[in-house]
Amino acid sequence: MATGTATAASVIPIDLGAMRVHTSREEAGGTPLGTSKQRPESYTTAYVGETTFLAREASKDAQRAGSTPTLSQSELYPVRHAFSPQHITALRLLALAAGRTQRALSAMNDGDEVAADSEVQKVQMLLPELFCCRTLGDGFGAVVSAVMSAFESSQGNPLDAAQLNTMNRVFSLLRDKPFLSADEADQQLEKLEAVHLSPYPTELVEFLSSGESVR
């Protein structure tokens, strides 16, 4: 006989443990039925590999951040003439001039003055073309003019080791930093004067030494 009270035999027991498993599996990405999909082993391996790669890259970035940054020439010299035809030509000529003055120094140290003078003459042959690149800046043009005047003031006499060394340093500086300021150019002229090379045109020196003045 049916009554309003359910009997113990008709009550379906609730498995609380199964409910907890079902809930935890759904939270972990399981199916509505409570059975979770297992990730393939290849997917897990790829995920771990990618994580390791990203960690290594992050470590490298951190190390690079603590090191001295390397700047390109375009970043150092962001001016209109950077990497222009004149700039590229000047870099080529200056590299040749620096190399030849270095070879002249080596030949002089070996006692071969003929070879040293030959290398110096080759350097002088580069200067007219280098002077055509003076549009790179007033500082660049002033230093190239000073070097040309220094060779002219030597009157064909061989340069000594100190003078060759100074020339080499000037060419190397122009190669690494062609866009000189006026003050930096003046410093290079002073270095030429310090080794008894006149950085001024011969006509100007003769005019000033004559005592004449412009009226």
Whether 172 has a pLDDT exceeding 90, the answer reads yes
Say if CB 119 and CB 103 are below 8 A apart: yes
Tell me if 129 sits within 8 A of 89, measured CB to CB.
Answer: yes
Over its C-alpha atoms, the chain yields an Rg (Å, rounded) of 39
Lookup: tokens for 35: 């059975």
- Give the model's pLDDT for residue 162: 94
Task: Give the model's pLDDT for residue 203.
Answer: 62
Mean per-residue pLDDT of the chain: 73
Q: Which residue has the tokens 């060759």?
A: 164
- Three-state secondary structure call for residue 69: coil
Least confident residue range of 76-80, 91-95, 124-128, 169-173: 76-80
pTM of the model: 0.59
Question: pLDDT exceeding 90 applies to what percent of the chain?
Answer: 43
pLDDT of residue 95: 95
Which residues neighbour 46 within 8 Å (Cβ) at sequence distance 6 or greater?
none
Which stretch of 89-98, 129-138, 204-213 has the lowest confidence by average pLDDT?
A: 204-213
- What is the per-residue pLDDT for 148? 94
Higher pLDDT, 42 or 163: 163
pLDDT digits (tens, 9 = 90+) for 57-90: 555 555 555 555 555 554 555 455 567 888 999 9
pLDDT tens-digit series, residues 188-214: 999 999 999 998 876 655 555 666 544
**DSSP H or E stretch at residue 117:** helix 113-131
The whole-number average pLDDT for the span 32-54 is: 45
pLDDT at 28: 45
